[in-house]
Homo-oligomer: A and B are copies of this chain.
Amino acid sequence: MSSALDVLAVGNAIVDVVSTADEAFLNRYNLAKGTMTLVDERTADFLYAAMGPGREVSGGSAANTAAGVASFGGRAGFVGKVRDDDLGRIFRHDIRAAGVTFDTPAASDGPSTARCLIFVTPDAQRTMQTYLGACVRLSPADVDRAAIESAEILYLEGYLFDPPQAQQAFREASEIAQMSGRKVALTLSDPFCVARHRSAFLDLVERYVDVLFANEAEITSLYETADFDAALQHVRRHCPTAALTRSEKGSVVVSGEEVHVIDAAPANVVDTTGAGDLYAAGFLYGFTQGKGLATCARLGSLAAAEVIGHFGARPERRLAELARGVP
């Protein structure tokens, strides 16, 4: 069956507010380095007032992945909820300008467009405080059945388990994809997000997921083991294909008896925001092009290396050009 899209990504529609901060700042406000914490609007306003000058760039995990797929030359779509405010217009502009199809209607009332305050420390680590805002309004009604049926891969971000209505949208989307013979891919997003929704994640992986993305902290959290290799043995029995990222140690892809260990691509690390999102973009782009799993992982590493070389979680260089010559 032919497909109109290579990847349809569903996730939180977020504008990132990126600033640099030192360790003392994280300590003063009790921010857990390297993680994503959900905050209410008041806390977001309080932290924003304490934050240094920012730059606003569109973000959102799955949206970054969609932008990455498009930058490789793939056909990508995105489903996510903004409000009809300035930040919502910025989000819509940026994702469309990146070449991604995005037609989810903006909310005309209720909470404002989601913001993620990102504090980048001198070690290039990012610490994220997210106000979900309009994202909580994403509902099954926003799930575009025709788009899912027409997309080779439905890609879901784990963060979308946080807004309650969105969980339901998630399940319905997975069901539609499966019934249409499409693949379902999921990223676990964050170890604390996994802890908040472990049984729902395990159930989703069990029932629907064809390709699972996770980093070391997330996959060990999912299977409640301290040991990466033990988690790897779990996931290989649980899910057809898993791509497990290990920061500068590269990634491990496991699919039944097949295992590939792929190095990270060299990078001058400025801001690690978006590394996992862009790894998924490269992997999924390769996957939809019928590449072998090792090539998928190499394309993932390449895209991750590009995005951590600058501030912001979307590629600044054309990934299609960087990808030339990848075996």
A-side interface residues toward B, CB under 8 Å? 19-20, 48-49, 51-58, 67, 85-87, 90, 93-95, 97-98, 112, 312, 314, 316
CB distance from A231 to the nearest CB of B (A): 36
* 18 A-B contact pairs sorted by A residue (CB < 8 Å): A19-B97, A48-B93, A51-B93, A51-B97, A52-B97, A52-B98, A53-B58, A53-B93, A53-B94, A53-B98, A53-B314, A54-B57, A54-B94, A55-B55, A55-B56, A55-B312, A56-B57, A85-B85
CB distance from A115 to the nearest CB of B (A): 9
Q: Do B97 and A56 touch (CB < 8 A)?
A: no
Q: Do A56 and B90 touch (CB < 8 A)?
A: yes
Q: Chain B residues near A55: list those with CB within 8 A.
A: 55-57, 312
Q: Chain B residues near A67: list those with CB within 8 A.
A: 53
Give bound CA distance, A95 to B52, whole Å: 9
CB distance from A299 to the nearest CB of B (A): 21
Give bound CA distance, A316 to B20, whole Å: 9
Q: Chain B residues near A57: list those with CB within 8 A.
A: 54-56
Q: Chain B residues near A93: list those with CB within 8 A.
A: 48-49, 51, 53-54
Task: List the 10 closest pairs (A to B, CB-CB), nearest first.
Answer: A86-B86, A56-B56, A53-B94, A53-B97, A55-B57, A52-B97, A53-B98, A55-B55, A86-B87, A85-B86
Most buried by B among A57, A86, A112: A86
Q: Chain B residues near A97: list those with CB within 8 A.
A: 19, 51-54
Q: Chain B residues near A86: list those with CB within 8 A.
A: 85-87, 112
Q: Chain B residues near A51: list those with CB within 8 A.
A: 93, 97
Q: Chain B residues near A95: list those with CB within 8 A.
A: 53
CB distance from A9 to the nearest CB of B (A): 16
Q: Chain B residues near A19: list those with CB within 8 A.
A: 97
Q: Chain B residues near A98: list those with CB within 8 A.
A: 52-53
Closest to A86 in B: B86
Q: Chain B residues near A85: list those with CB within 8 A.
A: 85-86
Closest to A57 in B: B55
Give bound CA distance, A36 to B98, whole Å: 26
Give bound CA distance, A308 to B312, whole Å: 19
CB distance from A131 to the nearest CB of B (A): 13
CB distance from A107 to the nearest CB of B (A): 15
Most buried by B among A58, A90, A95: A90
